[in-house]
Structure 1
Amino acid sequence: MTSDSENLSTSLTAIDSDIHTAVSGGMPSAIADLSDLVRIPSVSWAAFDPAHVRASAEAVAALAEGTGLFDVVEVKQAPIDESSELGQPAVLATRKARNGAPTVLLYAHHDVQPPGKDDDWDSKPFEPTVKGDRIYGRGAADDKAGVMAHIASLRALKEVLGSDFDLGLALFIEGEEEFGSRSFANFLTQNREALTADAIVVADSNNWDEVTPAITVGLRGNVTFRLTVRTLEHASHSGMYGGAVPDAMLATIKLLASFWDEAGSVAVEGLTSYSGETPDYSETQLREETGLLPGVSPLGTGTILSRIWNQPSVTVTGIDAPSVANASNTLSPVVSVKVSARIAPGQNATDAERAIRAHIAAHTPFGAEVEIDDLDLGDPFLVDGSGSIFGEAKRAMKDAWGTEAVELGVGGSIPFIADLVRVFPAAEILVTGVEDPHSRAHSPNESLHLGVFSRSVLAEALLLARLNAGSHTAGR
């Protein structure tokens, strides 16, 4: 007599094979749909046309409708903070679970970073271009590939199982992740019931390399702000008063320099580090992946990955000051800089902000006036990898990629994950992604490796099929 567990194993084996076939057959249409999404310049920043973000949301909603799997598909907006201003449009699609099956929430975002200068791209940023095994374009990797990974995995699931299966689904495709997810918390509150799930798959992170999958277990948080330094009521002649009157540029340079020690490590008292272990990663690999020039030394101390994953960093990402072309012989009265501080797992973003403010107050030279505004905070994140669905996700990755998944830390931040943890504390959060170290997300010549994309879709489709097949039951 064959046991129920043996029958389930045989069923899963057959379904796994069919999922492989369906994902492979669906790749051409998935890449074509991804290309269509990349052509929509859905930059969510305030200076860009919001009509493009709306068009992108509607295109994603049409793709969700096209799967035929959801009971409801909507384009929705939520207010920003306590104001009446609405955030950018997001897509929310839901399907109720049946017979005690779990519900999985699939998250990605359809907005993109600004393209930067066209001259820095080898091809037009919003014209998807395939070269070799990569497709280039703004959003091709971050994160319209994440959107299409969900859509493609759902298409494969339907092809194999039909539309009459038990697994519950919620698809949440955000429209302002690149602009700080300003309405995210309100969106969760307004749509809490629809978004409640046993597992949340966040498709917005990296893989170890083009042939090795990863699941992200640690993310740094962020404290981002504009720092304005004033020393004069108006500009003055640098020849007549230079040497006696401190200009804002000098004060800014001296203040910024205090953020780091001689090795380039962060020297802000009160910013902490995390003691987690890191895999082997060589300086040679760092140079190859980042384009670090031969004569330039890496910053900091400790293992390279501990500097990126587990230690704080401070980066000046922009400066408002007279340009070289427009420079006159004057003492600058005011200078503003954009500062991006990343904080290690284990530290609260509010505590980190206090430490940075105290450091600025203690190190501002010449009695200069300083102002901090345009503040954005995001807490770091550590994953509890003990859950059964987390283990199932790693097995699906191994089967799809042919190698074990690396548990990855990431130096970047996904601040909204802290909101997900707060609102859905019982859900297992799986931070996956379709990027690799050469994707150049946020940079010119952003690209998606098509092999990584295919294997990422397969891993997600296998996970969904196995959860539906009864490997787990809902635990809410």
Structure 2
Amino acid sequence: MDDLARRVDELADGLRSDLVGLAAIPSIAFPGYPDEPVLRAHDRVVELLRSAGVGSIGGLDLPGTQPVITGSIPAPEGAPTVLLYAHYDVQPPGDESLWDSPPFEPTQVDGAIRARGIADDKSNILVHVGALRAFGGRPPVGIKVVIEGQEEYGSAFDDYPASDPDLFGSDAMVIADMGNVRPGVPTFTVALRGDTEVIVEVRTLAEPRHSGEYGGAAPDALIVLLHALATLHDADGDVAVPGLLREEWDGATLEEAEFRKMAEVREGVPLFGTGSLGRRLWTGPAITVMGLDAPSVDGAAAAVVPYARAKLNVRVHPRQKAAEAQRAVVEHLAGLRPFGVGLQVTPGDAGDGFAAGTGGPAYRAAAEAMREAWGAEPVHMASGGAIPLVAGLAEAVPDAEILLFGAQDSMSNLHAPNERVLLDELKRAVHAEAAFFRAFARDHAARQGAR
């Protein structure tokens, strides 16, 4: 065990205690939830950063957005600067009866801690804090810190970086809102799908009409809508809308058995689509019907439905502009006339995905650090989930290498009941980030000396 690994080992108990305290705060930045816990989490993160040596701490207060924490540690002479990102807000707990312990009472079990938001993303805040503590608050690289407070719901911060690029100026960024494909397998996330929404609605009658008197001739809006939605996929479950980019995925991926377990697919129910899971989940499009406005089954009247509406979520190849994919879906639906009935199609929000370059010095240094921390060769994976801010950061600082890794893993139950983080993964992620600082600084100095 070298000195860095020993220091991380000595820090582990304190980091675990700090994580438990932070995860006990219900910092849900969604409408209808109180601001006080979110602001309490904000203040606690500021304290943790100060304890780790971040002396210059500021913030951003953007309209309709919980405060963004910023901070910095000056770079040693000639050293590169690394920006560290995470978020202190969490998802709502959902149905608390599905949890094995109260979601905001962190509970240790089987080498893990269970709580809402403990993996996504409070453990990764502690990764940053731990990596800085490992150097006594004086790391061998300059540090910029950005910890936001409304990532889960979305906010104006997603589009802010391009308006203030100097705030984010850095040689590399560690976006700690990701983790390993499975525990013990060090993993870079090198691509994120984009995300967009479309609303489609049908109006056929002024009001409901008796299905016995009018059914068979009166146009049923729900049937029209269902026929339109059925055109979005082919017989295998692959998206059938022209103009959406897809390609095969050649990195690490999930096995079908572990995916079925993670998704809790019922026995005997087949998965959608063809090709590898990587293509279906990461480098191919996906269209989900998020919601449907139609009469409920309970209490339904025997009447022809006059109006129906659906909200679609479209996941987009990392390199395809979300607006371009959205146009393809809108044009596809607008061009349909099921039974001669036209559809009203309205585009919603759109956020671009991200595809990382992996050949630069920061990636080489991070790969070395991961091998050191996990004792295994790192692999590449992608994510179907969107982080719109990453595209904004890439636009603001196009020369910075962006690294996505952290303490989570694919079995962490993010956004689901019984979310957990493994303590061993947390410790190894701290070691990896600290080792990255050391390797990146050393490589940078070598390259400067060779000029």
TM-score (norm 1): 0.87
C-alpha deviation, 1:368, in angstroms: 4.7
Q: Summarize the Cα distance change of 1:326–1:173 in structure 2 as closer, same or farther, 3 Å threshold.
A: farther
**Residue 430 of structure 2, aligned match among 457, 467, 472:** 457
Q: Is the 8 A contact 2:253 2:381 kept in 1?
A: no
Matched with 1:97 is 75
**Residue 344 of structure 1, aligned match among 317, 325, 339:** 317
**Residue 76 of structure 1, aligned match among 60, 66, 69:** 60
Of residues 333-342 and 446-455 in structure 1, the stretch that sits farther from structure 2 once superposed is 333-342
Of residues 318-327 and 402-411 in structure 1, the stretch that sits farther from structure 2 once superposed is 318-327
1:107 maps to 2:89: no
Q: Is the 8 A contact 2:161 2:392 kept in 1?
A: no
Matched with 1:438 is 411
1:24 maps to 2:9: yes
Matched with 2:109 is 131
Matched with 2:118 is 140
Report the Cα distance in structure 2 between the residues aligned to 1:434 and 1:333, rounded to whole angstroms.
50
Q: Summarize the Cα distance change of 1:336–1:426 in structure 2 as closer, same or farther, 3 Å threshold.
A: same
Of residues 53-62 and 280-289 in structure 1, the stretch that sits farther from structure 2 once superposed is 280-289
C-alpha deviation, 1:187, in angstroms: 5.0
Q: Is the 8 A contact 1:312 1:343 kept in 2?
A: yes
1:471 maps to 2:449: no
Matched with 1:177 is 151
C-alpha deviation, 1:234, in angstroms: 3.0
Report the Cα distance in structure 2 between the residues aligned to 1:354 and 1:461, rounded to whole angstroms.
44
Deviations 1:222-247 (A, max 9, x none): 11244444333334444443333333
Report the Cα distance in structure 2 between the residues aligned to 1:58 and 1:89, rounded to whole angstroms.
10
Q: Is the 8 A contact 1:99 1:166 kept in 2?
A: no
Matched with 1:357 is 330
Matched with 1:233 is 206
Matched with 2:356 is 383
**Residue 40 of structure 2, aligned match among 55, 65, 89:** 55
Q: Summarize the Cα distance change of 1:144–1:165 in structure 2 as closer, same or farther, 3 Å threshold.
A: closer
Report the Cα distance in structure 1 between the residues aligned to 2:251 and 2:439, rounded to whole angstroms.
31
Specify every segment of 5 or more residues in structure 1 that has no aligned partner in the other structure, as ranges: 1-15, 79-84
**Residue 65 of structure 2, aligned match among 59, 84, 87:** 87
Report the Cα distance in structure 1 between the residues aligned to 2:138 and 2:421, rounded to whole angstroms.
33
Report the Cα distance in structure 2 between the residues aligned to 1:239 and 1:395, rounded to whole angstroms.
72
Q: Summarize the Cα distance change of 1:245–1:145 in structure 2 as closer, same or farther, 3 Å threshold.
A: farther
Deviations 1:63-114 (A, max 9, x none): 11222x2231123222xxxxxx332211111122131111100001111222
Q: Summarize the Cα distance change of 1:321–1:274 in structure 2 as closer, same or farther, 3 Å threshold.
A: same
Give the paired residue count: 446
Deviations 1:285-307 (A, max 9, x none): 32233222220111111122222
Q: Summarize the Cα distance change of 1:323–1:126 in structure 2 as closer, same or farther, 3 Å threshold.
A: farther
Task: Please give the secondary structure, in 2, of the residue aligned with 1:177.
Answer: coil
Report the Cα distance in structure 2 between the residues aligned to 1:228 and 1:186, rounded to whole angstroms.
33
Q: Summarize the Cα distance change of 1:165–1:215 in structure 2 as closer, same or farther, 3 Å threshold.
A: closer
C-alpha deviation, 1:281, in angstroms: 4.7
Task: Please give the secondary structure, in 1, of the residue aligned with 2:414.
Answer: coil
Report the Cα distance in structure 2 between the residues aligned to 1:279 and 1:312, rounded to whole angstroms.
19
Map of 1:10-49 to 2, 5 A cutoff? 17-49=2-34
**Residue 231 of structure 2, aligned match among 254, 258, 283:** 258
Report the Cα distance in structure 1 between the residues aligned to 2:262 and 2:362, rounded to whole angstroms.
32
Counterpart residue identity of residue 98, structure 2? D
**Residue 372 of structure 1, aligned match among 333, 341, 346:** 346
C-alpha deviation, 1:130, in angstroms: 1.7
Task: Please give the secondary structure, in 1, of the residue aligned with 2:58.
Answer: strand
Task: Please give the secondary structure, in 1, of the residue aligned with 2:22.
Answer: helix
Report the Cα distance in structure 1 between the residues aligned to 2:334 and 2:267, rounded to whole angstroms.
37
Q: Summarize the Cα distance change of 1:459–1:234 in structure 2 as closer, same or farther, 3 Å threshold.
A: same
Report the Cα distance in structure 2 between the residues aligned to 1:148 and 1:364, rounded to whole angstroms.
54
Q: Is the 8 A contact 2:334 2:343 kept in 1?
A: no
Task: Please give the secondary structure, in 2, of the residue aligned with 1:472.
Answer: helix
Counterpart residue identity of residue 472, structure 1? H
Report the Cα distance in structure 2 between the residues aligned to 1:113 and 1:337, rounded to whole angstroms.
24
Report the Cα distance in structure 1 between the residues aligned to 2:275 and 2:78, rounded to whole angstroms.
48
Task: Please give the secondary structure, in 2, of the residue aligned with 1:301.
Answer: coil
Q: Is the 8 A contact 1:53 1:89 kept in 2?
A: no
Task: Please give the secondary structure, in 2, of the residue aligned with 1:363.
Answer: coil
Report the Cα distance in structure 2 between the residues aligned to 1:359 and 1:342, rounded to whole angstroms.
16
Deviations 1:351-403 (A, max 9, x none): 10110100111235352542425x22122221111101111101101110010
**Residue 141 of structure 2, aligned match among 144, 163, 167:** 167
Counterpart residue identity of residue 378, structure 2? A
C-alpha deviation, 1:272, in angstroms: 1.2
C-alpha deviation, 1:36, in angstroms: 2.1
Of residues 149-158 and 50-59 in structure 1, the stretch that sits farther from structure 2 once superposed is 50-59
Q: Summarize the Cα distance change of 1:227–1:206 in structure 2 as closer, same or farther, 3 Å threshold.
A: farther
TM-score (norm 2): 0.92
Report the Cα distance in structure 1 between the residues aligned to 2:316 and 2:35, rounded to whole angstroms.
31
Q: Is the 8 A contact 2:197 2:314 kept in 1?
A: yes
Specify every segment of 5 or more residues in structure 2 that has no aligned partner in the other structure, as ranges: none
Q: Is the 8 A contact 2:162 2:395 kept in 1?
A: no
Task: Please give the secondary structure, in 2, of the residue aligned with 1:183.
Answer: helix
Report the Cα distance in structure 2 between the residues aligned to 1:215 and 1:273, rounded to whole angstroms.
21
Counterpart residue identity of residue 365, structure 1? P
